[in-house]
């Protein structure tokens, strides 16, 4: 199944609060065959992204899924372990579901801003961040979650726990996303 079609339907749904009609899908996907649309819709129904009820399409909870890519250290920077799982969330929890993902926090370096071990953070992918943003960053080839700051005109990372030092890149610091929200289940 081409997930590009699913993403286009998700974007349409976010904007219009409904699933596009078959005719709208022809335009949306740039196709001219109604048979192709029927096949795409049937695939999305069989994969449980959409459901048919009284000849109308509606999204399932699976439609709003966001990938969980793995765990991220909130202590000293370390290599990230990638594992691909999915968690369905209501659409309103995430501003940009097509450019967002979840990470589970490990460590205590961000407790001062209310991010604790075991919390899930919603990361919105972007390379643009301002001083003070909580960011997912790659510092000297190690992944971490920290507060972006400036020192002597250069970008550094700060923990929100006084037990951790400032993290100053020796080689490189790249921002990959900004924390948009934190979720904690009690």
Residue located via tokens 């449980």: 48
User: Which residues are designated catalytic?
Assistant: 109, 146
**165 pLDDT higher than 80:** yes
Q: Are residues 162 and 71 in the same domain?
A: yes
Domain that holds residue 115: 65-183
- The tens digit of pLDDT for each residue in 24-81 reads 999 999 999 999 999 999 999 998 889 988 888 988 877 877 777 777 778 777 665 5
Mean pLDDT of 108-132: 94
CB 175 within 8 A of CB 135: yes
Q: Which of 12, 40, 59 is the last residue of a domain?
A: 59
* pLDDT score recorded for residue 78: 65
- Of 5-9, 10-14, 60-64, 74-78, the poorest mean pLDDT is in 74-78
Mean pLDDT of 9-15: 90
Q: Are residues 26 and 115 in the same domain?
A: no
**123 pLDDT higher than 90:** yes
Q: What percent of the chain has pLDDT over 70?
A: 90
Average pLDDT, the chain: 87
CA–CA separation, 6 vs 149, rounded Å? 38
State how many domains the chain has.
Answer: 2
CATH number assigned to the domain comprising residue 94: 2.10.109.10
* pLDDT score recorded for residue 95: 78
* pLDDT score recorded for residue 135: 97
* pLDDT score recorded for residue 156: 95
Q: Are residues 14 and 99 in the same domain?
A: no
CATH number assigned to the domain comprising residue 32: 1.10.10.10
* pLDDT score recorded for residue 77: 72
Q: Which of 28, 44, 59 is the last residue of a domain?
A: 59
**173-183 and 134-139 beta bridge pairing:** antiparallel
Q: Are residues 30 and 104 in the same domain?
A: no
Q: Are residues 10 and 86 in the same domain?
A: no
Q: Are residues 77 and 18 in the same domain?
A: no
Secondary structure of the chain in HEC code, one letter for each residue = CCHHHHHHHHHHHHHHCCCCCHHHHHHHHCCCCHHHHHHHHHHHHHCCCEEEECCEEEECHHHHEEEEEEEEECCCCECCEEEEEEEECCHHHCCCHHHEEEEEEECCCCHHHCCCCCCEEEEEECCCCCCCCEEEEEECCEEEEEEEEEECCEEEEECCCCCCCCECCCCCEEEEEEEEEEECCC
Compute how many other C-beta atoms are within 10 angstroms of the C-beta atom of residue 4. Answer: 9
């Amino acid at each position: 199944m081409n997930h590009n079609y699913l993403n286009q339907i998700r974007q349409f749904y976010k904007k219009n609060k409904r699933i596009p009609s078959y005719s709208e899908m022809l335009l949306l996907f740039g196709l001219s065959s109604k048979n192709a649309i029927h096949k795409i819709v049937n695939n999305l129904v069989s994969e449980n992204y959409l459901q048919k009820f009284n000849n109308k399409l509606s999204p399932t909870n699976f439609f709003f899924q966001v990938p969980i890519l793995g765990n991220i250290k909130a202590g000293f920077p370390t290599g990230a372990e990638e594992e691909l799982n999915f968690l369905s969330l209501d659409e309103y929890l995430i501003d940009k579901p097509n450019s967002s993902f979840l990470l589970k926090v490990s460590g205590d370096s961000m407790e001062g801003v209310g991010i604790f071990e075991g919390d899930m953070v919603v990361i919105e992918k972007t390379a643009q961040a301002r001083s003070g943003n909580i960011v997912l960053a790659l510092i000297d080839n190690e992944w971490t979650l920290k507060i972006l700051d400036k020192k002597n005109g250069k970008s550094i990372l700060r923990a929100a726990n006084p037990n951790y030092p400032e993290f100053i890149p020796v080689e490189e610091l790249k921002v990959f996303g900004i924390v948009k929200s934190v979720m904690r289940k009690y």
